[in-house]
Each structure stands twice: as C-alpha cells, then as structure tokens.
Structure 1
Amino acid sequence: MATKNGRTSRTPRPEKDELAVALRKFIRTKGADYLDDPNVSSVGVGYKHVDGKPTDELTVQFTVNEKVSEPEALEALGTSPLPESITVNGVEVPTDVIERSYEPAFRRVPEAATPPRKTRLDPIVPGVSVGHTSVSAGTIGCIVYDVDSHTPYLLSNWHVLHNATGRVGDTIVQPGPHDDNRIDDNRVGRLVGRTWGRPGTVPWRRSRIGSSIRRSVGSAWSRTRSGNPNSATR
C-alpha cells in the first residue's frame, strides 16, 4: 500500500499470511479464466514490481506477451485491459503486469543404445543376458555339452534359470525379461535340469563343465534350440 511520502507500507505479518492463502485459493479457482486472453501468458501471486524491483506488497500478478495500454494496440493484439485491482475475500488487492513470454524449451535426446550383452544374439555366447520368464535377468555362465549326445546346454545360476517358482520344462528367454520383455520373441530353450551342491563340488555326471562353474553353489541348465555340438546357436 502506497503512503503519502511515496513509500510502500508493510502489511502486518498475520494479515499478509491470511491474504496469501486467500490469493492462492483465488488463483486456483479463478486464475484460468484470465488465460483465455491470448496476450496473458500466466497469472499468479507475486510481489509488486516498481522500477523493475520487487516490493513487499502482495499482488495478483499477470505476465503478458506485450505490455501495452493504448486502445489501438490492445485491439491489435486481440486483448483487453487487465483490472488495476481485484477484490479477494473483501480485500482490494492490486494487480501487477509484467511483460514476459514463455516458449517451450527442450532439446532432442538420442535414444540410449542397448548394450550388446543385453540384446538378442545369434549365436549366443557366455556372459550375455538370459533368464527364466519369472525372473528379471542374469547371465549365461557357459555353454556345456552332453557327454553322450553332444547336445548343447546353457548353464547359469539357479536363481537365473530356475528360481523358486521354476519347473522343468519352463521357457527360458534371451535376453532376460528385465532387458527385453518380448517373451514370445525371445525364447531360447526350456529348463531341463537343476541341482544344488556345496562350493568346490562338481554335482554333474553327464556334462562337461568349466572349472569356473565348479564353484557355483546352485545352478540350472537349459537345452538350446541347436543340436549341433560345435555351435550354440538358436
């Protein structure tokens, strides 16, 4: 509020808090009506600006694309004069008009490339994503072959290919569901076995396995689609 000497008087704090609450409610319920004006870019609660500097006087603050006052200029913009004050809860609140326009600000971000180890591969190799359809994803430990039939199998940890809900015959996908949820397109084989063993033991009898797998506490294996003992393709 302006005084006779031109200074802005300070509104007592409790009254200012009550006014701020009333103004916010007014903006939420009535503010959108003012945005129908094509020249009004925003409406809110703010401190009145004088000579480009904010004061401590609360106002209903408008921003406009172009700040004009002449009738001809207003007509050319298809806009109407904004009120000098608005009554809110019985209190006459001054308005403040600031010239400011808003434009969408964005930048194009390239789509992140999926690491090759998390994509569908053919032929499959150790270290790439794999999993039971009910788990997230793990990695293939190695490719093993049946001693007698030379059938290739995928070997991985129990929690990757089997999990608590797994059953022999369940579908195994590559990559795992967490990395690509297109289950029907990513089938790589079916679960054919699982076992538990103590660290340092070799629980298999019919598969050749690498020494790095012998330290696995729990593992499971899946038959691949290929019966070629010289490759593990799908």
Structure 2
Amino acid sequence: MSHASQKPEPPRAPLAAARAHTAELLRLPNVTGVGVAYKVVAGRRTETVGVTVNVSRKEPPTHLSRLQRVPDELTVNGETVRTDVVETAMPRFCAGPVDFAEYRPVPGGCMIESMVPMLGTVAGVFYDRQWPYDAVLLTNNHVLCDPDRLFELPPDTRVLQPWAGGVFPAEFIGRSRRIVPFYRAPLGSENAFECTVDAGIVALDPPVRPQFSVLEIPGKHPFVVLPPSLGERVLRRGITTRLQSGTVEAIGVTQQMQSATGKIVLLGVGNTLFQIRSDPGDPAAQEGDSGSIVLDSTATRGLVGATDFALGGRTWAYDMLTVMAVLDIDTACKGSKRDLIRRMALTHPETTASLKSFVDMHTEKFERFSAEYLTPRREGTLAGTLGTLLEGASGQAIAEAQLTDEDFAGLLTRTIGPWLVRPTAFDMLEYRLPDDFAPNLRAAFTRLSDLRPEAVDTHWWDDAFRDVGGRSMREVLDRRVQAPAAPATDRVGPYAWSSSGTVASVSQQI
C-alpha cells in the first residue's frame, strides 16, 4: 500500500542551513547538538520549521557576548532560517540489560551480547552487499566494540544470544563482521571521537537462522526504508523498554554525547541523526536498547543509538538509509533476489571462474529488468500485479521463506532460476517458459501459502498462468489480470495505523 503522495516535502532550507552551520554552532558555549525541528514558543509547537540548537544549559543573553550567542537567524543559499535554542540533557549510549530470552530463529528486537562484554538489541535482518551476500544482523558499533576502541572490532568477535550472565559455556550465534568505525576528532576539538553512523553487522553461524520480523511488531520489518519526517509517529522495540512509541521531534541532527568513560563523542557527523520525543510518562530508550529499529506505519526510519534516559525524554536514532549506504547492506527483499541468483549460480557452468562476478552481473541486470518491467505502474497487467505483490506482504513472505525454508527456496530456484540467469534483459523477455513452469510455480507458492497463509493470495494465479508453456515471458507479462485487493489498514501489534500516519489502540478504531 503506497502512502508516497501523503508524505510532506522535506524542509530543504532548514536542512541545508543546519548542515552549513553545524560546525560553527557547536563551537558556541553549552551547544551540544544541531538539527531541524518545529520552533517552540512559550512551550507550544508552531508550524515554523527552523534550526534547533541543543544546549546543555540555557544562559541569560546578558551572560554571553554577542559572538557567544546563538544567532536568531541563519542564512544559506540566499534564504533566511529561524533558530530555536532548546535545553537538552547530554545523551549517552544505551547499551547495557533486560529481555534475556532465547529466540530461535533470531528476530529483530532481541538481545545480543558481544565478548567486550556489551549488551544491545538486534535491529533486524538485512543482507550484506559485500561477498558472500548473506543475511546478517544489524546493531550498533558500540554494542560490538570496546568502549575505548570504537574504531576497530575486538580480537574476539563472537556474539551470544541469549545473555550468558557470566556463565559459560553459552551459545554463540555468530561473529561481528563489520562496523562503521568511529574516528579520532581533529586536533584541538573537545570531542575524543566522531562518527557518521554508529552501526555494525553480525554474521550468523550455521545452523542458526534469522527471522524477518521484529518482536511485538508482527508484519513490520525493514523491507521498505524511507527518511524520517518531522511529526511522524514511530515505534521502537528494545530489550529493556520493549515496545514504545514516540514522535519525531527533529531531523538532520548532529549531537554531542558523553561516553561511559566520560569522553565527549560527536554523533551523526553530516547531520544523520533524528530525535524522537517519548510520550509523556513513557521512557526514552534505556540501557540495552542500543540497536533498536525505528518504524512508522509504512517503513523503517532509523537505528537507535543514544538517549537521555528520561521519562518523556529523547532518543536519538540514525537515518536508516544512511546506515545502509555507509555500512553497505541491503533490505531483505533486495538481498533475497541476489541470494536467489547465488543459489542458481552454484549449479551453473558459467560460474566456475568467478561466482561473485556471475552473481554481481545477473543481480544488476535483474534490478534493471525489475525497474522497467516488474513495476506497479503497469497496472492491469501481470507485470504490474507482480510488481505490486513484490513490494507488499507477499514480497516480504517470499524473502523470509527463501531464507528459512529450504523446500520453498529449492522450488523457487528450480522454477525461475533458469530465467534469472539469461544473458540480457532482452533474453529474459524472449525466454520461452517450459511446460513445467506453471506446475512448479504453483508448487512453490502452495508451499509459501502453508508457511504464510495471511500473506499469499493465489486465487487469481490459475488464470494468469494458464497455458504459459512455450510462450515468451514478454507475452505472459503483458497479460491482463485482475489484481488482488490490498488491505485497507496496516496493523502493528496492539496498534492500528491510519492512512495519515497517526497511531491509536486497536480498540479505539471505528
């Protein structure tokens, strides 16, 4: 279900002003962070979006020289943007205790422990864009690394789930594979370290399998990723505070924080953070919630990294699109396409020289093919229907079943694998479907409907794929079909999301 038309335009001038003036503002007394938010006057939010300057303590203007004061306005590209000074507690990393339960397969929202030792939360399951292109767990760098050495992985990279509690032997589920390192701040800076995003991934050891879901948030997972927007209602699931909701208060943030060893660290260099204000009386992220995923009604928005620990307080999260780009990971749906090609490549004679090159070539080709031919804009055709399904719940179910169920993965590979590895997009269109294509496809999706009956609707398949044996893929994709209806409302655990993106309890829905 698409909500793209309802999304507000990002505040371009305030974001540009924040990026342009962050460094100079952070040099002013008491300033700890810079971002973009609605301006607050007399305790009430206005509709004016400006540059918010977080300070550890507000000082009367008479106590500061003119050069020490935050200017009332900032100028960028010929435009003037208002500022707002907000007293904000210095955040801290939120790694530490409480949901120590064992989860198999391993989902988002569960606890992991590194050998540092440090506890944190798994955001969710993603795919590595680097070889061997497998499924990995996403969390924070500071969950995986020594607090004083956030620029490198520790010598012992093993990761546990559940918490060992100091008692060994314990179950090791995998190893830290890669982090986005913190780097030493320039000479003369009050910051000890700086980072763009605080993120790292864990590769699972066989036979441990991941699960494409987030605890307490059924049906929601990082299949679709979008940037955060001001005023959005969001959910996060950590091991300590469990499921919590809040509102995006500021975006495009760079923020100082204090580490457990007392050092000042600058987070979100490049304005990659956003702030979430907890609901009154509800906690901000707490120790152990580091690495939690942030979602709204339609997409994943961020990765929790720091907190002020207060009731009704603030949680800082990294823009997930930036996390994925810097860490070089893919969503489950995109990664599962590459994994399907990898499975096919293992039995293909052309791959003897370089399996990686073969997979890279055909993945890039299939992405171009999908963007051109398997797109929802081809409404009323089989191509358009398949494109819509692959972007929705069915696509998510396919990605999950492909990783967790060998029967489905084998049937799907046998059915469409030979088509996926045609030399060019033209060859894919002209590919003649074998006589057993429809029966094999039906067998694969019958298996999928057994695994995820709520996500698969195949009542229209028999007509769409009747007599396809011997026909070209071009001819089959152009067939006119009646697309299945999309659900009217997204439900997330105990919450129901309206089309406007607001959240209420299900019992309050009419």
TM range (shorter): 0.3 to 0.5
- Higher share in helix: 2
State the TM-score, normalizing by the size of structure 2. Answer: 0.18
Larger radius of gyration: 1
State the TM-score, normalizing by the size of structure 1. Answer: 0.36
